[in-house]
């Protein structure tokens, strides 16, 4: 009887490398870490596409008109203040009276705004930008200006230089000559790049842009209307403004009245109410209506001030007109689960390999991992064309079918191939549920991962980790 030759040390080492479970685990872990590199490239690609979408929005908005903020009306009245100062003259201290000119600002007692917003969607390639025109009707009542706080007599107040200021963040949006009245008197208005008040201007540029950002804009543009008073007014001042204003993305207001009420209506079905104060609102498929009611107690600035000692910031509010295309947000969130999908898929393949004694080459793992990475480029490209949900279905079905067909070339049993296909489909379904259920994503994800760990424990309980055979 012929005896088998004793294998050499190199052959025994090679056999150990081939059959060792621990070596297989380390090699799979190394492949997963390697695939993290292209996974990060996918996230960079999503951010680049989102930046391009934001850039298109800025380009179109700059040619039309940007996000608008209305801050006004504000009453500005110059006055002269006399002050005593001590100086030295010929070695003696003497008192001199000097005069300094200042501007006093007064806010209305009651301020009401009604806006009706009509929207238009412009396309630039595959990207969309929402533009609007708004018919604005403002009504305000001012009390008789009181200078007693600053101890200024009426004769030092320049009543004839009193003006009415209405802040508008982007003057390019004025489509027609504004109609400004004091009582029944039509006022002459002029544009002004700096109306002398300070406001934070909201800039809503980003589509992932879940929250608005602020930027200090010390010089607020607007329109100025001389009141041409000769003397101190004898009673309450009623002013009104009718304005046709163009803008893009958002329309904001500053509650300048001691009592402010802003009503906004539109046929746009996807508004986002943002800012410091939220309205009472009603949203339907045919549009929305919103009413903000603000008192002076709800804002951080007073009714009157001198020069630039006060900013009308801290209580801005308004509406942002959303285009329901959050594919970049959802694609980014989905891509963050890419490592989990690869880990689950490789773990499933590893358990199949161990329990069925099927030899799966590392190169086959790499190809399956590459398919799982390419999935996200399919998702991103299709989502820009057909929306996120449809793109998710297309990418998931295509990737699952591809991986299933490829796995059938090295898995022995059709039932195993079918099981692996169902696992892949369940992984993608699980991630989709997490993405859609934003409020419960952590809870669902935690429960799902707990169940997955439990299944892994169950299917791996009979594996002899310190032996080559299960």
In the chain, where are the structural domains located?
Answer: 20-51+328-459, 67-323
In the chain, what percentage of residues exceed pLDDT 70?
Answer: 84
Contacts of 63 (CB under 8 A, 6+ apart): none
Rounded CA-CA distance 232/143 in Å is 12
| 408 bridge partner residues | none
- The CA–CA distances, whole Å, from 68 to 54, 179, 217, 289, 457 equal 17, 18, 13, 19, 58
* Residue 210: pLDDT band with limits 50, 70, 90: very low
Does the structure show a pLDDT above 60 at 151? yes
Q: Compute the average pLDDT of residues 245-266.
A: 93
Q: How, if at all, do strands 222-226 and 190-192 pair? A: antiparallel
Rounded CA-CA distance 118/396 in Å is 39
* Residue 207: pLDDT band with limits 50, 70, 90: very low
Residues in the chain: 470
Segment 215-241, tens digit of pLDDT: 344 467 889 999 988 888 888 899 999
Structure tokens at 449: 């991962």
The closest alpha carbon to 310, from 196, 208, 234, belongs to 196
Does the structure show a pLDDT above 50 at 195? yes
* Cα 173 → chain centroid: 23
Segment 25-69, tens digit of pLDDT: 677 677 767 777 776 777 777 777 777 777 777 777 777 888 899
- The CA–CA distances, whole Å, from 441 to 54, 208, 338 equal 27, 18, 16
pTM above 0.95, yes or no: no
Rounded CA-CA distance 313/362 in Å is 61
Sheet holding 127-142, edge to edge: 185-187, 179-182, 237-248, 127-142, 110-124, 259-266, 287-295, 280-284
Classify residue 234 by its DSSP letter: S
């Amino acid at each position: 009887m012929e005896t088998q030759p004793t294998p050499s040390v190199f052959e025994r080492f090679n056999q150990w490398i081939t059959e060792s479970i621990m070596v297989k685990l380390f090699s799979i872990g190394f492949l997963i870490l390697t695939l993290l590199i292209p996974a990060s490239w996918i996230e960079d690609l999503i951010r680049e596409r989102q930046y391009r979408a934001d850039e298109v929005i800025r380009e179109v908005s700059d040619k039309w008109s940007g996000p608008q903020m209305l801050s006004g009306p504000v009453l500005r009245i110059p006055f002269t203040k006399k002050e005593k100062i001590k100086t030295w003259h010929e070695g003696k201290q003497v008192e001199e009276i000097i005069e300094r000119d200042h501007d006093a600002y007064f806010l209305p007692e009651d301020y009401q705004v009604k806006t009706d917003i009509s929207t238009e969607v412009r396309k630039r390639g595959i990207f969309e930008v929402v533009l609007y025109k708004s018919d604005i009707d403002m009504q305000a009542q001012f009390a008789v200006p009181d200078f007693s706080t600053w101890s200024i007599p009426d004769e030092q107040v320049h009543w004839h230089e009193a003006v009415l200021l209405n802040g508008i963040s982007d003057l390019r949006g004025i489509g027609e000559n504004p109609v400004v009245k004091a009582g029944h008197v039509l006022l002459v208005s002029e544009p002004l790049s700096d109306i002398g008040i300070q406001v934070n201007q909201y800039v809503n540029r980003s589509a992932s842009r879940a929250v608005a950002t602020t930027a200090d804009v010390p010089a607020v543009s607007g329109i100025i209307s001389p009141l041409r008073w000769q003397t101190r007014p004898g009673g309450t001042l009623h002013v009104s403004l009718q304005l046709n204003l163009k803008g893009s993305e958002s329309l904001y207001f500053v509650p300048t009245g001691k009592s402010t009420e802003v009503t906004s209506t539109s046929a746009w079905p996807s508004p986002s109410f943002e800012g410091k104060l939220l309205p009472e609102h009603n949203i339907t498929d045919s549009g929305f209506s919103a009413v903000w009611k603000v008192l002076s107690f709800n804002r951080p600035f007073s009714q009157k001030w001198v020069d630039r000692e006060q900013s009308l910031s801290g209580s801005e509010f308004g509406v942002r007109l959303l285009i329901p295309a959050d594919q970049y947000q959802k694609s980014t969130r989905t891509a963050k689960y890419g490592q989990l999908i690869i880990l689950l898929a490789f773990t499933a393949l590893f358990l199949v390999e161990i329990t069925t004694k099927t030899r799966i080459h590392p190169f086959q793992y790499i190809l399956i991992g590459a398919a799982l990475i390419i999935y996200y480029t399919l998702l991103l490209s299709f989502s820009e064309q057909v929306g996120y949900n449809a793109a998710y279905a297309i990418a998931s079905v295509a990737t699952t079918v591809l991986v299933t067909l490829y796995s059938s070339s090295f898995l022995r049993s059709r039932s195993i191939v079918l099981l692996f296909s169902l696992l892949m489909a369940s992984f993608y379904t699980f991630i989709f549920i997490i993405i859609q259920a934003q409020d419960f994503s952590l809870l669902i994800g935690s429960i799902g991962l707990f169940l997955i760990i439990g299944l892994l424990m169950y299917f791996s309980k009979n594996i002899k980790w310190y032996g080559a055979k299960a």
